[in-house]
Amino acid sequence: MRFLRAWGLYTLFLWLVLAFNSIPGDGMSPAGAIAAGTEGIAVHFYAEDPEGDDYGPGSYVYPGDPAFTPYEGLFDLLAFRVWSDRQGEEVYFDVKIKNVTNPWVAPEGFIHPVIHIYIVTGKGANSEPVNEGPRVVFSPRHRWEFALTGIGWENSALYHSAAAGGLQETAITAAYLQEEDLIRLAVPKGIIGTPKANWQYYVFTGSYDGFGPGFFREIKDEADEWFFGGGSGGENTPRILDLLAPISGRYTQEKQLQVLPGGQMACLYPVGAGRKGGFWWLWYLLPLGVVLWFLLRKPPVFSIFWYRKKRN
């Protein structure tokens, strides 16, 4: 019986250690999960997003112009992947959109989605988007260090803090790869380095408007030929159509994109392997407390392979 108790304690301890180091969140896969068998390729992060949710907080309606045919899926984020060739000089950010069309013949092969990616490395100081387009703010506990924008007509860029202050902007490439049916952004490793397992990401899409703020199309109360409808947040209505977020809980897309009480801008939280943007570690306090209670109730004596209660 003592041996079984010892083995149970050891198993629980091992589970806690593994859980803290690799906890996939909703729709998340551990880094490297889809790279099995691919020599020389390192997948640093991969996540999927529900289909059919390019409606912002749940109420946005497509414009009526034929350019937005088939009136669904043009901004629907399905998957996001960060990977690199171990011998290469670039990091790739792949974004899977349900329906990619190019009615205005942009050279990148896509035009409708405006893609924003913000990288939380633990060293960032920025809690706002690179421009006023998204019309949201980010959690002050999860500040970003690098930002990428994938925008048609050669407007894609990488942003990071400049030595003299402010943000430095560097042009990057973004292209729709027809055979793989995804949009790929390429960033020099020399600027951002090799992605770490603990990095977190804000990823979202808006609708391209060459005359809109930050190239984002406006969201109005009622949809018309060129503007989305369904906005209800007044002047702070988010211009985001799809957000990479957990499918349940406190940090779903629909909840994050709600304008806050008092008309304040919606506040977003990042995703990452095992982190959904909240106090994920609270789930481990209960089992940890049980273990501590068991140990303190009657101090045990440990050896390398054995456990026994200390005799009085």
pLDDT in tens, 88-142: 999 999 999 999 999 999 999 999 999 999 999 999 999 999 999 999 999 999 9
* Best CA proximity match to 208, nearest among 228, 222, 224: 228
Compute how many other C-beta atoms are within 10 angstroms of the C-beta atom of residue 168: 14
- Residue 297 in this model has a pLDDT that exceeds 50: yes
Query: Does residue 73 sit within a domain?
Result: yes
* Best CA proximity match to 117, nearest among 222, 225, 201, 184: 201
Query: Does residue 261 sit within a domain?
Result: yes
The pLDDT of residue 294: 57
Domain housing 232: 25-274
219 and 289 co-located in one domain: no
205 and 292 co-located in one domain: no
Tell me the average pLDDT of the chain: 84
Compute how many other C-beta atoms are within 10 angstroms of the C-beta atom of residue 80: 23
91 and 233 co-located in one domain: yes
Query: What gap in Å lies between CA 229 and CA 103, rounded to an integer?
Result: 21
The pLDDT of residue 232: 84
88 and 12 co-located in one domain: no
187 and 80 co-located in one domain: yes
291 and 258 co-located in one domain: no
17 and 117 co-located in one domain: no
Query: Does residue 227 sit within a domain?
Result: yes
240 and 138 co-located in one domain: yes
Tell me which residue has tokens 């998204």: 134
Query: Does residue 279 sit within a domain?
Result: no
145 and 48 co-located in one domain: yes
76 and 162 co-located in one domain: yes
For the chain, the domain total comes to 2
- Residue 20 in this model has a pLDDT that exceeds 50: no
Query: What gap in Å lies between CA 292 and CA 223, rounded to an integer?
Result: 58
28-68 pLDDT, tens digit each: 554 443 343 367 899 999 999 999 999 999 999 999 999 99
> Could you tell me how many helices (H) and strands (E) the chain has, helices first?
4, 16
The pLDDT of residue 278: 41
- Residue 269 in this model has a pLDDT that exceeds 90: yes
Instruction: Give the DSSP letter of residue 134.
Output: S
Query: Does residue 258 sit within a domain?
Result: yes
179 and 290 co-located in one domain: no
Query: Does residue 103 sit within a domain?
Result: yes
Joined tokens for residue 167: 């943000």
194-238 pLDDT, tens digit each: 999 999 999 999 999 999 999 999 999 999 999 999 998 789 999
Q: Specify the range with the lowest mean pLDDT, choosing from 8-12, 151-155, 207-211.
A: 8-12
The pLDDT of residue 3: 45
CATH number at residue 259: 2.60.40.1190
184 and 301 co-located in one domain: no
159-208 pLDDT, tens digit each: 999 888 889 999 999 999 999 999 999 999 999 999 999 999 999 999 99
